[in-house]
A = this chain, B = another copy of it.
Amino acid sequence: MTDKPFPTEAQIAAALAAAKARPALTEIYFVACGGSYALMLPNQYAVDRHAKTIAGHALNAAEFMARNPARLGPTSAVILCSHSGTTPETVDAARFARAKGALTIALTNLPGSPLDEAVEFPVYYTHAPKTFAPDHSAAVMARLTFGILAAREGNPLAQKLDTALTALPALIDSAIAAHADRIATFAEAMKREPVIYTMGAGANYATAYSYAICIFQEMQWIHSAGIHAGEYFHGPFEITDFDVPFIVLRGLGASRKMDDRGLDFVTKYSQRVTTLCAEELGLGVIDPEVVEHVEHMAFGTLLRVYCDKLADSRGHPLTVRRYMWKMDY
């Protein structure tokens, strides 16, 4: 973060005005890598669910360039994200998309970074993983997506989303406080655990994926996979046993039926299930039309506190890496 506030609000407004001004807009590509790619998945979800004239595609940045979609061009918006603004594939993808005539928008925490400079419309976000605010990355992404749907199609959910994002910080703070004992128990129980699975559906699958690859595999060297709750019964559930740990995200939106089916089964056959339930976190006060688009932000923030405590119990700080930042790759 810089010393002065980021111009985030003005940047969002500029990006949305550009999206509105395009003669046509037929698809949004959501392009990033790793944790930033995971941020994109709930936005493809939102486009799939709500957009009448726009298709959404979330793609890893290298995959996006290799795939070189036939539809990518002047009627496309490409929204990218890299925290440091230096991820080479994401910077290359921004240049690639811009050269094709697409509207390019990028989120980054680092003004002046290569990604900031590669796109027409940069948007800076603030970053504090153990708290939440409407100018954090996941919130800014959702505001851009719903803002484009409002600008292009008159979708009415953007205002409800903003109201939800304003209510979330206090709800998340309360949830973190209320979970203190559970967090300590989890950290102690998992301190020598070699495998932890994460499960979710709908927009929450993004959080399951993100924690599997960025927290467990990357930051804790724990074997993991993000399991989609709808896919669980078509293969992964056979790995369930009394001693296999799962984190399950139970939402309040359209995917709740999948969540509950997965949860009913996994809690019957594993004794080591950690459940984060949106209803129990108090998210029932959020407008039912948008709660499914923000609950992953609450799950992600709360899980980060779980994982900080886990890192303590393992004696392995979240900052320690074997390879990342230490060598060329």
Spell out A's residues near B (CB within 8 Å). 27, 33-35, 37, 45, 48-53, 55, 57, 60-63, 66-71, 87, 89, 194-195, 201-202, 212-214, 217-219, 221-226, 228-231, 233-241, 254-255, 257-258, 261, 265, 269, 321-324, 329
Evaluate whether A217 and B235 lie within 8 angstroms (CB atoms) in the complex, with A60-B230, A228-B60 already known: yes
16 A–B contacts, CB within 8 A, in A order? A33-B233, A34-B234, A48-B69, A49-B67, A52-B71, A60-B228, A61-B230, A87-B234, A194-B195, A213-B234, A214-B235, A217-B238, A217-B239, A224-B239, A240-B322, A240-B323
Please report the C-alpha to C-alpha distance between residue A37 and residue B55 in the assembled complex, in whole angstroms: 20
Q: How far is the CB of A158 from chain B (nearest CB, A)?
A: 15
Q: How far is the CB of A252 from chain B (nearest CB, A)?
A: 12
- Not counting A34-B235, A60-B230, a sample of 15 additional A-B residue pairs whose C-beta atoms are within 8 angstroms of each other reads A27-B55, A34-B231, A48-B70, A49-B68, A49-B70, A51-B71, A52-B71, A61-B230, A62-B230, A63-B230, A66-B255, A67-B254, A195-B195, A213-B235, A225-B225
Q: How far is the CB of A234 from chain B (nearest CB, A)?
A: 2
Q: How far is the CB of A54 from chain B (nearest CB, A)?
A: 9
Please report the C-alpha to C-alpha distance between residue A323 and residue B240 in the assembled complex, in whole angstroms: 9
In the complex, what residues of B have CB within 8 A of residue A239's CB? 217-218, 221-224
Give me the 3 closest cross-chain CB pairs, A-B, nearest first: A34-B234, A225-B225, A213-B235
In the complex, what residues of B have CB within 8 A of residue A323's CB? 237-238, 240, 265, 269
Smallest CB gap from A54: residue in B: B71
CB of A231 within 8 A of CB of B213, answer yes
Smallest CB gap from A258: residue in B: B62
Smallest CB gap from A88: residue in B: B233
Of A69, A265, A269, most B-chain CB atoms within 10 Å? A69
CB of A234 within 8 A of CB of B321, answer no
In the complex, what residues of B have CB within 8 A of residue A322's CB? 238, 240-241
Which of B48, B68, B70, B236 contacts A218, CB < 8 Å? B236
Please report the C-alpha to C-alpha distance between residue A52 and residue B261 in the assembled complex, in whole angstroms: 38
Please report the C-alpha to C-alpha distance between residue A235 and residue B219 in the assembled complex, in whole angstroms: 8
CB of B50 within 8 A of CB of A70, answer yes
In the complex, what residues of B have CB within 8 A of residue A34's CB? 231, 233-235
In the complex, what residues of B have CB within 8 A of residue A68's CB? 49, 254
CB of B236 within 8 A of CB of A66, answer no
In the complex, what residues of B have CB within 8 A of residue A236's CB? 213, 217-218
Please report the C-alpha to C-alpha distance between residue A62 and residue B261 in the assembled complex, in whole angstroms: 11
CB of A223 within 8 A of CB of B195, answer yes
CB of B224 within 8 A of CB of A225, answer yes
Of A217, A235, A240, most B-chain CB atoms within 10 Å? A235
Evaluate whether A238 and B324 lie within 8 angstroms (CB atoms) in the complex, with A33-B230, A223-B223 already known: yes
